[in-house]
Structure 1
Amino acid sequence: MNKLFIATGLAMAFLTSCSKNSEETQVTPAPTEESVSGNVEGVWKKGNTYKVTGHLQIAEGKSLTIEEGVTVLMSDSIVKPEILIRGNLYSMGTTANPVKFTVPDAWKTAANNFGNLWGGLIAGPTNTELVLSNTVLEYGGAVTTEESPSVKAQLYKAKAGEHVPVLYTSNTGSKIVVANSTIRHFNEDGFYLEGGKVLIMNNTFHTTGVSGGEAINIKSGVQAEVAFNVIYSPNTNALKLSNAGDKTPQAYIVAYNNTIVNAGWRRPTIKGGSIWLEKTVRADVYNTLLVNDRFGIKRDKGAPEDTRSVIANNFYYGYTQTGVDQFQPSTEIVKGTNDILSTKAGENDPKLVNYPLSTSSMNSSYDSSWDFHLQTGSPALGKGKTDFTRLYANGLSVNGVTYTSPAPGSYIGALGTK
């Protein structure tokens, strides 16, 4: 019996030792590359590259989760793939390892600065959840053809010859979160939203729109919060807020603590140039830092916003007299409560940490060294409004995670002091 106990003990010690050694020598699998097209679902694993060789679809009732560090490489220059989302999509990057929807590096030339190399994310009426967290989307916005999934499904504008947006939504009951992400190098609109409970926060938009297009274009059927976003040089408006489409519920947007720079000047015809309000949209707009934009917050006089809308505590700066003149209050330009604006070029310098205020209004190139934080002593500090009601202060639950809209800043703009 003693010998048996000793033998058993030695065997257990040996097995434990092997287990520990196995754990200590475990190696993380090397990243792999896989070609994909057609229907997709399941999990795209951390750090891998998925080479897209045709249109993709997430079928109704199915989900695709994309883990951190994944590269979704749009590699078909003929088809220019769209991603049709009938089910759910969860793109879950991290600050250190974002998910990237991109194209081969060789395609990233000056000639392709506004993308047009793949389509976009088209969420159909059976989509119920969509998350883009710490995700980079770039070089898309291709024009539709008769063979495009969005045209065949009668989604977006449902016809050939239209540049698709980065993201399109259509289900009023869907829940959409876009957070800590970057949208850049797209041909026209960034987001074109025709349905959903939507939370857009802490994102950066730049280099979007060749001859038209808004960074965020919202229609009826959407209830959205848009907060703490930096939007640089959209072709037309940073935010186009409209109740067009006559869906229920009425479009209601609470937009606060956004920074909008150089908006609207590149549009060949005159329309908006910062934030556009129309067709009985209900819009509450607070704490917006508007720097060198073509116009102030502008309404469609023939179809104005809902009278319950609230505009307050926005800050305007213009480097040129033309810019300053075009944000002065009028029947079209909305003057909000406690808005801060000057009448002379160069007054009310917001004191940005690193952005040349003399940058050409026609510039669309984004310099990653720019810093839109506020310096100590900025007149935008301490001027923000914080006592208003947010739509998702208690959270929006998506895929088991609760996303809460950020508390408003006491400053104006997306970024306070460092």
Structure 2
Amino acid sequence: MKFKHIFTAMAFAAVVLAGCEKANKDVDTTPQNGSAIGDVSGVWTKGSVHEIKGDIIVPEGKTLTIEAGVTVLMDATTKPEIVIKGNLYSLGTAESPVKFTVSDAYRTDANKFGKLWGGILAAPTCTELVLDHTILEYGGNTTSDASTSVKMGLYKAVAGENLPALWFSNVNGKLIVQNCIIRNFQEDCTYIEGGKIIFANNVFYTTGVSGGEAMNFKSGCLADVAYNLVYSANTNALKLSNSGDRIPQAYIIAYNNTMINTGWRRPTAKGGSVWLEATVHADLYNNLFANTRFGIKRDPKKPEDNRSKNDYNWYYGFDQATVNQFQVGSNDIVAGGTHDVRGTKAGDNDPKFVNFPLSNPVTSPDFNTAWDFHLQGNSPALGKGTANFTRHHKAGIALSNGLTYISPEPATYIGAYGTKL
């Protein structure tokens, strides 16, 4: 009888252990730490570390919530992709951001442009995706015929594509990307093909080997894009397009963004600051262009919607070659409004950043986190913006988990940062 009891206890323990092992790997998980491959959902709890050993998928109808301080450690050998068919909420804080990264041994200058994992790929069945106080770095792997994304028909669904940090593709979905840092990616940071969207208070740098945008929006997008800093994107800070012919027509309202040194590393002269094409409807206000290649530029063969507007934008060039690039009448530069500040001589309209060497080489992708792009108290860009326009999501985007995100109010200074408090 005693042996029978011992055997029963051992069998029960084995079942429990097997259940724990499964929970630690895939569905409805709440482990402090774990490893993952295959299907995942549930909650990854505050401060935990999750080693991603292979491609992971949030199944349709399921949700993965990632709490503050979680580290999602991508295996640089298997180079996993993260596929979201359900919903994803990555909810970090300023003090404890969520981080999608690789181990310290791979965080080297040789891997400056990542390629060590794929990206976050949200299928058309993903209805809600939030990245808040989240860091994405060292990804952008190139797809092959064996890639899960290619087999599932996701993103561009062919081998040889460099994956973005984030792809979203549901025109009826809701996408929030705010307070994030996206860095060290091979090509595009984001590639967005639809949805009600807020991109706010993000920083993009050290991305794009030979091409790639910081924020790339296509048809189906209704987006408010505000208070973002883009440093030395290989091509454009903002590529705004209605390509794809999805409904609704792409309508992007971009305001109070700061763009520094963008576009100079692209081998051809397609763009470098804001690129407009294919009947996109784009309204652009209070944006600061410093040492960027071009200003707001159009595709002359496929121009923007004629209802588009831009005014109250600020242009600065340290040298004459840069100033010449953004003059209206050349390079397919889009004419702005009467309140634009656009000088004709090198050094005109210094925005007076708190700490940034305006002579910094425009071809360098290296970012110094000690730089401070706030405006000094005597900056001429203070008080030169406008709040007299309506943004898409002033009333907010309400999500099924009870959270509501509101696009930020515009400021009357130019750029992403006013004076330091």
Give the TM-score normalised by the residue count of structure 1.
Answer: 0.92
2:406 paired residue number: 404
Distance 1:193 1:234 in 2: 17
2:365 paired residue number: 364
Distance 1:394 1:150 in 2: 35
- SS across alignment from 1:151: helix
Residue 215, structure 1, aligned to residue 214, structure 2: yes
Counterpart of 2:397 in structure 1: which amino acid?
L
1:352 paired residue number: 353
Give the superposition deviation at 1:334: 1.2
1:325 paired residue number: 324
Give the superposition deviation at 1:356: 0.1
Counterpart of 1:267 in structure 2: which amino acid?
R
State whether residues 32 and 45 of structure 2, in contact with CA within 8 Å, keep that contact through their aligned partners in structure 1.
Answer: no
Residue 52, structure 1, aligned to residue 62, structure 2: no
1:154 paired residue number: 153
1:383 paired residue number: 384
Residue 241, structure 1, aligned to residue 243, structure 2: no
State whether residues 262 and 294 of structure 1, in contact with CA within 8 Å, keep that contact through their aligned partners in structure 2.
Answer: yes
2:75 paired residue number: 75
Counterpart of 2:288 in structure 1: which amino acid?
L
Distance 1:76 1:372 in 2: 33
For residues 292-337 of structure 1, give each alpha carbon's deviation from its aligned partner in whole angstroms, at most 9, with x where no partner exists. 0011110011111001101010000001111100100026101211
Give the superposition deviation at 1:33: 3.2
1:33 paired residue number: 33
The answer to which of 186-195 and 323-332 deviates more is 323-332
Residue 94, structure 1, aligned to residue 96, structure 2: no
1:28 paired residue number: none
1:169 paired residue number: 168
1:6 paired residue number: none
From the superposition, tell whether residues 106 and 350 of structure 1 become closer, same or farther in structure 2 (CA, over 3 Å).
same
State whether residues 54 and 76 of structure 1, in contact with CA within 8 Å, keep that contact through their aligned partners in structure 2.
Answer: no
Distance 2:148 2:411 in 1: 41
Distance 1:114 1:65 in 2: 28
Distance 2:280 2:403 in 1: 29
Distance 2:33 2:210 in 1: 36
Distance 1:184 1:126 in 2: 27
1:10 paired residue number: none
Distance 1:277 1:81 in 2: 33
Larger Rg: 1
Among 394, 414, 417, which residue is 1:415 paired with? 417
State whether residues 213 and 234 of structure 1, in contact with CA within 8 Å, keep that contact through their aligned partners in structure 2.
Answer: yes
Distance 1:47 1:384 in 2: 40
Give the superposition deviation at 1:173: 0.5
State whether residues 76 and 102 of structure 2, in contact with CA within 8 Å, keep that contact through their aligned partners in structure 1.
Answer: no
State whether residues 41 and 58 of structure 1, in contact with CA within 8 Å, keep that contact through their aligned partners in structure 2.
Answer: yes
Give the superposition deviation at 1:149: 1.6
Distance 1:320 1:191 in 2: 31
Counterpart of 2:403 in structure 1: which amino acid?
V
Give the superposition deviation at 1:34: 1.2
State whether residues 172 and 196 of structure 1, in contact with CA within 8 Å, keep that contact through their aligned partners in structure 2.
Answer: yes
- SS across alignment from 1:272: coil
- SS across alignment from 1:207: strand
For residues 217-266 of structure 1, give each alpha carbon's deviation from its aligned partner in whole angstroms, at most 9, with x where no partner exists. 01001111100001100000000000000111100000000000000000
- SS across alignment from 2:110: helix
Give the superposition deviation at 1:376: 1.0
Counterpart of 1:161 in structure 2: which amino acid?
G
Residue 258, structure 1, aligned to residue 260, structure 2: no
2:193 paired residue number: 194
1:336 paired residue number: 336
State whether residues 52 and 76 of structure 1, in contact with CA within 8 Å, keep that contact through their aligned partners in structure 2.
Answer: no
Give the superposition deviation at 1:341: 0.7
1:276 paired residue number: 275
State whether residues 231 and 261 of structure 1, in contact with CA within 8 Å, keep that contact through their aligned partners in structure 2.
Answer: yes
Distance 1:170 1:178 in 2: 14
Counterpart of 1:403 in structure 2: which amino acid?
Y
Distance 1:319 1:38 in 2: 51
Distance 2:284 2:149 in 1: 32
Give the superposition deviation at 1:165: 0.2
Counterpart of 1:189 in structure 2: which amino acid?
D
State whether residues 48 and 69 of structure 1, in contact with CA within 8 Å, keep that contact through their aligned partners in structure 2.
Answer: yes
Give the superposition deviation at 1:39: 0.2
Give the superposition deviation at 1:148: 1.2
- SS across alignment from 1:137: strand
Distance 1:45 1:262 in 2: 39
For residues 179-214 of structure 1, give each alpha carbon's deviation from its aligned partner in whole angstroms, at most 9, with x where no partner exists. 111000000001100111110000100011000000
- SS across alignment from 1:65: strand
State whether residues 373 and 417 of structure 1, in contact with CA within 8 Å, keep that contact through their aligned partners in structure 2.
Answer: yes
Distance 1:35 1:282 in 2: 44
- SS across alignment from 2:155: coil
State whether residues 280 and 303 of structure 1, in contact with CA within 8 Å, keep that contact through their aligned partners in structure 2.
Answer: yes
The answer to which of 31-40 and 402-411 deviates more is 31-40
2:84 paired residue number: 85
For residues 3-28 of structure 1, give each alpha carbon's deviation from its aligned partner in whole angstroms, at most 9, with x where no partner exists. xxxxxxxxxxxxxxxxxxxxxxxxxx
1:294 paired residue number: 293
Give the TM-score normalised by the residue count of structure 2.
Answer: 0.91
2:226 paired residue number: 227
